[in-house]
Amino acid sequence: MHLKVLLASLSLHAWPSTPNNATVLYLKEGASDQFMMQESNAVQPKRCVVTGGAGFIGSHLVERLLTDGHAVTVLDNFSSGHRKNLQSLSSNSKLKICQVDIAEYEQIKEHFVEIDWVFHLAALADIVPSIEQPLSYHRSNVDGTISVLEAARQTGVKRFIYAASSSCYGLATEFPTPETAAIKTEYPYALTKYLAECYVLHWNQVYKLPCISLRLINVYGPRARTTGSYGAVFGVFLAQKLAGRPYTVVGDGNQTRDFTFVSDVVQAFIQAAQSELSGEIFNVGSGGTYSINKLIALLGGDKVHIPKRPGEPDCTFACISKISKALGWQPQVGFEEGVAKMLEHIDDWREAPVWDEKSIDIATRQWFEHLGESKGSETPHSKHKILCTEEALCSATSSEEHKDCK
C-alpha cells in the first residue's frame, strides 16, 4: 500500500503504553490492529530497578518497561509475588530477576549501580496480617524502604518513584480527597506505608534524591493476588463467582470505592519517572467512586451480607487534579471496561480460596478486637455524616475547591 493512501486511511489515537512524545498511528487491516510509532522524540532506554516486580502491580510495570525498550532488574523475595507473573517475559534479555530481601542493604546495593530509574513497590500488604505481625510489616515496609533509598542515593540514581498508599487518609472526611487531607492511619499497614513515604520525602529533602510518591487507591486488574489472607474485594468476589457461591458484602453494599485499573497506575509511574519533578506527592485514582452493589450488578450473582468492619471508610475517592495538571496524567480505563477485563481473566482465580461468612468471621476477629469502637461509640466518620453514594459521589464534589477533581 502506498504511504499516501495509507495515511489517508489512518486514524490517530493516544496510546497509553508508549513513551511521552511518541506518535502512534493505528490502521485496521482485517481483524487486527497495527501501529507505527515515530521514535524520534521517544524517551531513551533506561536501566531500571523494580522492587516487588513479581507482584501484582510490579509485574505489570515490568512488562510495560520492557515493552518500551528499557532494561529491568527485579528485586523480590517472592513472599507475596509470584514468578509466574513474569514467566511470559523470562526470555527477554533485558530482564534480570533477583531473589533478595530489600531490607538487607548489603545484599541489594550492587543492583543499583548505574541505574537510572528506581520504582519501589515491594511491601507487605493487607490489614489483618499487619495487626498480627507489626514487626514484620515495619521491617518490610519501613526498614526495606530506607535500605532501597540508601542504595539509590549511594549509586546516584536519577529518579525514585515510590508506591505509597491512600490508606494514610484513614476515614477521610473530605471528598474528593486531596493530597493535603489529614493523615489518619487506622492500622499498622497504613502506618508503615506512610512512614516509608516520609522517609522517601526526607531523602529528597536532605540528600536531594529526586523522588516522587504516588498514593495508589483501590488498584485492580489481572494478576491481583489470588492467595493469602482475606482482602481485596475483586479477588474475593471472583473466586466466589467461580465457585457458584454468593458474594459476601460488607454492610449494605452502598459503600463506594475509587477502583483504579492497573494499566492506568502503570502509566502514572512512567510519567512520574519521565518528569523532572521531585519532592511531590500525587494521588492516583480513577476520577470516580463506585458502589460495591454496582460491582455485584456488573459481575452478576447472589449476595449475602456480613457485618461492617471498624476502620473501613464508607467512601474512597481521590482528587486527581494535581497529577493531571503536573504530569498530564489521566485515567483511561472506565469501571465497566475494567470489570469486563477482570471477567475475561476470571480463570486466574480458579485456585484462589473461596471465602464465606464463617471463614471471614474467623479471619477478621483480630480486626474487630483491635480496631473496634468501644461501647458503641460514634466514629469520627459518622459524626460528619458523609454522603458518598453512586448517585451523589460526595457532597464536596460540587464545591469550588474541588471543581477540578471530578
Active site residues: 189
Sign of the dihedral defined by the CA atoms of residues 361, 364, 369, 372, in that order: negative
- Determine the Cα–Cα distance for residues 366 and 35; give it in Å rounded to an integer: 52
Inter-axis angle of helices 56-67 and 262-274, nearest 10:
60
The 3-state DSSP class for residue 142 equals helix
> Would you call the peptide bond into 331 cis, given omega within 30 degrees of 0 as the criterion?
no
How long a stretch of residues is the chain? Answer: 406
Report whether 103 contacts 140 (CB < 8 A). yes
Grid cell of 344 as nine digits: 475475561
Written as one letter, the residue type at 203 is W
Report whether 26 contacts 13 (CB < 8 A). yes
End-to-end CA distance of the chain: 44
- Determine the Cα–Cα distance for residues 315 and 173; give it in Å rounded to an integer: 9
Q: How many CB atoms lie within 10 A of CB 111?
A: 20
Helix (H) or strand (E) holding 59: helix 56-67
- Determine the Cα–Cα distance for residues 335 and 289; give it in Å rounded to an integer: 9
Sequential DSSP letters for 349-401: GTTS----HHHHHHHTHHHHHHHPPGGGPPPHHHHHT----SSS--GGGGSGG
- Determine the Cα–Cα distance for residues 7 and 173; give it in Å rounded to an integer: 52
Residues in Cβ contact with 40 at an 8 Å cutoff, skipping those fewer than 6 apart: none
Sequential DSSP letters for 391-405: SS--GGGGSGGGTT-
